[in-house]
Each structure stands twice: as C-alpha cells, then as structure tokens.
Amino acid sequence: MDKPFWEKDAPKDAKVKHLSHKKVQSAKASARAAGRPYPNLIDNAAAARSKGK
C-alpha cells in the first residue's frame, strides 16, 4: 500500500512553495472548522492546492 504524502520524504529536487497570506488565512479557517490546531500539514496542503492566490 502506498503511504500518504505526509508520511513520505520530500524529493531531493522539491521546490519550497510559501503560502500567500490569503491561503494561510484559508488554512487557519479550515483547521479551526475541523477542530485541528494550526499550523498543520493537512490544511496547508489543501490551501496550497486550491485555486486562487
């Protein structure tokens, strides 16, 4: 079975993507709605994949 992305090591040539202020706010709202603490990888990844800035 393949591991979820958060349990895998990042590739050596992976580029760091910083979240915009708007995406950080979106990730924080998502975490709050789900009862999770922020920062966390799940909400940050969902915000990074979402359309918009």
Instruction: Determine the pLDDT at residue 20.
Output: 95
Instruction: Determine the pLDDT at residue 25.
Output: 96
Residues of the chain with pLDDT under 70: 53
Instruction: Determine the pLDDT at residue 53.
Output: 64
CA dist., res. 33 & res. 51, Å (int): 20
CA dist., res. 41 & res. 35, Å (int): 14
Instruction: Determine the pLDDT at residue 46.
Output: 93
Instruction: Determine the pLDDT at residue 27.
Output: 96
CA 36 to chain centre: 13
Polymer length in residues for the chain: 53
Instruction: Determine the pLDDT at residue 40.
Output: 93
Residue 18, amino acid? H
